[in-house]
Amino acid sequence: MRGCQKGGDVSEPRRQELLRRLPSVDELLRSGLVRPWLERLPRRLVVGAVRRVLDRTRRTILRAPESELVSDGELDAHLERELERALREVGSYRLRPVINATGVVLHTGLGRAPLARVALQNIGRVASGYCSLEVDLDTGSRGRRTGIVRDLLCELTGAESATVVNNNAAATLITLATLAAGKEVIVSRGELIEIGGSFRLPEIMAASGARLREVGTTNKTRLADYEGAIGPETGALLKVHTSNYRILGFTEAVPLEQLVRLGRRHNLPVVDDIGSGALLDLSRFGLTGEPVASHSVRSGADLVLFSGDKLLGGPQAGIIVGRKAWIEKIERHPLARAFRVGKLTLAALEATLRLYMDEEQALREVPALRMISEPDTVVRARAERLRRFLGGVDGLEWVELAQDTAYVGGGAVPAQGLLTWTVRVRAKSLPEDGLAARLRTGDPSVLARVQDGCVIFDARTLNDSEVELVAEAVKLALQPRADAP
């Protein structure tokens, strides 16, 4: 057998003995440990978990160095622990809710924007049965699904028309493919962005069939640079918001209005990829420099592109607003079918956009906006409540309230933090990484920051009902256990 040490290995009989002692799948299914799980879970899941544990254990017995071969009692305890772990794993969903105590509001790894309550309700209402996805109920005729949110998007941005695709990367790709396949698209060198590895503007451009024509330098691009590059091959002018970085110091970029005037003179469409898609001006909350969709439309961009799940605070989507003639062409492009959104997305997006019809309501009910706009006194009170709960937890060496910086994240406003309040803790007998790992793998799962030897809980990305849950999770994580990770 592979992994088995041959010839003169004195441990061989011991390995064979341990293998013989391993129970069969059937024996384990009848055991007191596994049987209860058969009542809760499909047999197939349980059998799979048991088989995997037995296979793993068999391999371990064959490969373990002689000095690590276990006693019979240890073998039983090992099996029990492994079965417990494997059954717990198949007993829960892979995609699970987590508590975000990281202080990063639009955390891409944690699903970016949490949805507003009405958006969730609308998904449930619409998707549990049939819905009016592509049927106009007044006339009975077949329509386009994107018509569901078109009027709302026009109203909120001032655009002539609008459409929706799967995400902003898809919005960029289909827009370039429609406007400029086989032609050149002029972009400033300072705006050739990469968002999280897989979205690189030059690569999206290549996939669209358009040719990238870079102008200017990394830190300075002038109107004359764009103008000098315009020729018979030019298909569009593209401006891209440098979402996740800022070029500071000796810099110059061309304002959208000037680019629009240039485009008009040469009869070329101007596209503005604004990234995070703020529908409200968030500068009153200290977030400056994030373009607002309606401002870009007013400045005359022919098409404005943005994400649905960044600052807009809705479902993952790519939103395109602008000139009716271009939107119609985009919707007729073959990629429109490949990139189309489903009814769940449209249900969530329609409900989220309706909240924006009343700005104050949007700030209260769109979770991402609430977290960003919440006054720091409210955040501080929440942190203090968490500190009080944690103050009573055995096993913590100290617990301390601290002022700190939270971030919008999701590739928005990289250089500006949000004033926030955190609770920093250190455990008596567990390093900070260990505590963070236990919190992450617990139920509920809690994600916190680890820094300066502490685990840090940021109250800006928590809601009031999560405070006690976090404290409970810490208490649980600090209880002594046999199978400590």
State the nearest-atom distance from the C-beta of 270 to ligand PLP, in Å.
15
Q: Please report where in the chains the tokens 């000037």 appear, as a residue.
A: 258
SS3 state at 83: helix
Interatomic CA distance for residues 481 and 340, integer angstroms: 49
Cβ closest to ligand PLP, residue 306 vs residue 421: 306
- Give the amino acid at 406: A
State the nearest-atom distance from the C-beta of 207 to ligand PLP, in Å.
13
Check: CB of residue 268 under 8 Å from CB of residue 234. Answer: yes
Interatomic CA distance for residues 90 and 35, integer angstroms: 15
State the nearest-atom distance from the C-beta of 366 to ligand PLP, in Å.
17
Question: Does the bond joining 444 to the residue before it have cis omega, within 30 degrees of 0?
Answer: yes
State the nearest-atom distance from the C-beta of 251 to ligand PLP, in Å.
18
Rg of the chain (C-alpha set)? 28
Question: Does the bond joining 23 to the residue before it have cis omega, within 30 degrees of 0?
Answer: no
Backbone angles phi, psi at 187, to 5 degrees: -135, 145
Cβ closest to ligand PLP, residue 174 vs residue 406: 174
- The contact set with ligand PLP (CB under 6 A) reads 167-169, 172, 193, 195, 199, 240-241, 243, 273, 275-276, 307, 318, 411
Cβ closest to ligand PLP, residue 414 vs residue 442: 414
| DSSP structural state of residue 9 | -
SS3 state at 311: coil
Cβ closest to ligand PLP, residue 276 vs residue 296: 276
Interatomic CA distance for residues 176 and 238, integer angstroms: 9
Cβ closest to ligand PLP, residue 230 vs residue 346: 346
Cβ closest to ligand PLP, residue 235 vs residue 315: 315
Per 3-state DSSP, the chain is made up of helix, strand and coil in percentages (nearest 5) of: 45, 20, 35
State the nearest-atom distance from the C-beta of 229 to ligand PLP, in Å.
21
Tokens standing for residue 137: 């109920």
State the nearest-atom distance from the C-beta of 199 to ligand PLP, in Å.
5
State the nearest-atom distance from the C-beta of 244 to ligand PLP, in Å.
7
Cβ closest to ligand PLP, residue 274 vs residue 454: 274
By C-alpha distance, which of 281, 373, 271, 404 is closest to 326?
A: 271
**Judging by beta carbons within 10 Å of its beta carbon (0-12, 13-18, 19+), is residue 142 exposed, middle or buried?**
exposed
Cβ closest to ligand PLP, residue 112 vs residue 424: 112
Q: Per-residue DSSP letters for 43-57?
A: HHHHHHHHHHHHHHH
Cβ closest to ligand PLP, residue 309 vs residue 331: 309
State the nearest-atom distance from the C-beta of 114 to ligand PLP, in Å.
16
CA end-to-end span of the chain, whole Å?
31
Interatomic CA distance for residues 173 and 171, integer angstroms: 6
Which residue in the shown chain puts its C-beta closest to ligand PLP? 275
Cβ closest to ligand PLP, residue 269 vs residue 387: 269
Interatomic CA distance for residues 434 and 382, integer angstroms: 25
State the nearest-atom distance from the C-beta of 111 to ligand PLP, in Å.
12
By C-alpha distance, which of 318, 329, 328, 338 is closest to 178?
A: 329
State the nearest-atom distance from the C-beta of 317 to ligand PLP, in Å.
7
Interatomic CA distance for residues 101 and 96, integer angstroms: 16
